[in-house]
Homo-oligomer: A and B are copies of this chain.
Amino acid sequence: MTRKIVILGAGNVATHLTKALIKEGFDVRQIYSRTIESARELGVKTGVHFTNNLAELYKEADIYIFALSDTAIEKLASMIDFNHDPLLLHTAGSVSIDVLKNSSKNYGVLYPLQTFSKSRELDFKKVPLCVDANTKHNIKEVCQIAATLSDNTRTMGEDERKKIHLAAVFACNFTNYMYSQAEEILKQDNIDFNIIKPLIEETAAKVQDLSPAKAQTGPAIRNDKATMNKHKELLENFNELKKLYTFISNNISKLKE
């Protein structure tokens, strides 16, 4: 029997997850979001009933997925009376499954390890899904759902998931910050960011085959002090950028020692 699902949240993760669930034939019954505009946007996009009124929440679902910010998960769960012990899942990398334990006997995690934007299409089949749940039975159930959505699923405990989330901050958020600083430097001389895009693409493509430890290049790993000093001179009037340059270059230089 097809499981009936309610999605709580209408942000980037909720959007991609809802679309993927529908694509794979799941019965998504309702989208709830605190803000009606977000609820409507995703509801209209997917043809799913939407609401911003908790009193209207569909109560007969088998699964409720909390695709919300870290702090909102527990708060919203505590506001709903789940009297039939449905399976409650959240999608957060750093949040314990225990935040759901007071709301149902059945709870777990479906954490998609990817960066989502509403405006970008994405092949959900390739998104690594990290699975956890409070019982073996529930783990099996979440695994089944995950395996339908993606070809890349993995069951793991809380510690492993949190470590992966931390690694993701480096690989995605910190990496994007480096891109933004490159953009900043180019902007100082009115140079179009486009010129550096092929380099960004290739740098990411390279580590698909090669360990990043082995792919490290640049003046810092060569301990090429002359070039590093020239770079610092260029940043003479940009104190924060200079500090960042020095900090990371020092770290990279240490790798060689």
Contacts and interface: CB of A to CB of B under 8 A. Distances in A.
A159 B189 contact: yes
Contact of A198 (B126, B166, B198, B235): B126
A173 interface: yes
A176 B203 contact: yes
Given A114-B199, A127-B198, A178 B170 contact: yes
7 contacts: A160-B191, A167-B182, A168-B196, A169-B218, A171-B203, A183-B212, A204-B205
A198 B128 CA distance: 8
Interface residues of A, number: 88
A235 B166 contact: yes
Interface stretch (A51-59, A98-106, A115-123): A115-123
A2 B166 CA distance: 55
Interface in A201-257: 201-213, 215-222, 224, 226-227, 230-231, 234-235, 240, 244-245, 247-248, 251-252, 254-255
* Stoichiometry (number of copies): 2
B182 A168 contact: yes
A118 to B, nearest CB: 12
A159 B198 CA distance: 21
Contacts of A154: 195
A251 B203 CA distance: 23
Interface string A169-201: 111111111111111011011010101111111
Contacts of A127: 198
A59 to B, nearest CB: 31
Given A166-B185, A174-B252, 13 more contacts: A94-B230, A113-B196, A114-B198, A152-B195, A168-B199, A171-B178, A171-B182, A171-B199, A173-B218, A180-B213, A180-B216, A182-B212, A204-B205
Contacts of A199: 113-115, 128, 168, 171-172
Interface in A127-180: 127-128, 152, 154, 159-160, 162-164, 166-180
B120 A169 contact: no
B113 A195 contact: yes
Contacts of A179: 170-171, 175, 207, 212, 215
A122 B224 contact: no
- Most chain B beta-carbon contacts within 10 A, residue among A201, A204, A205: A204
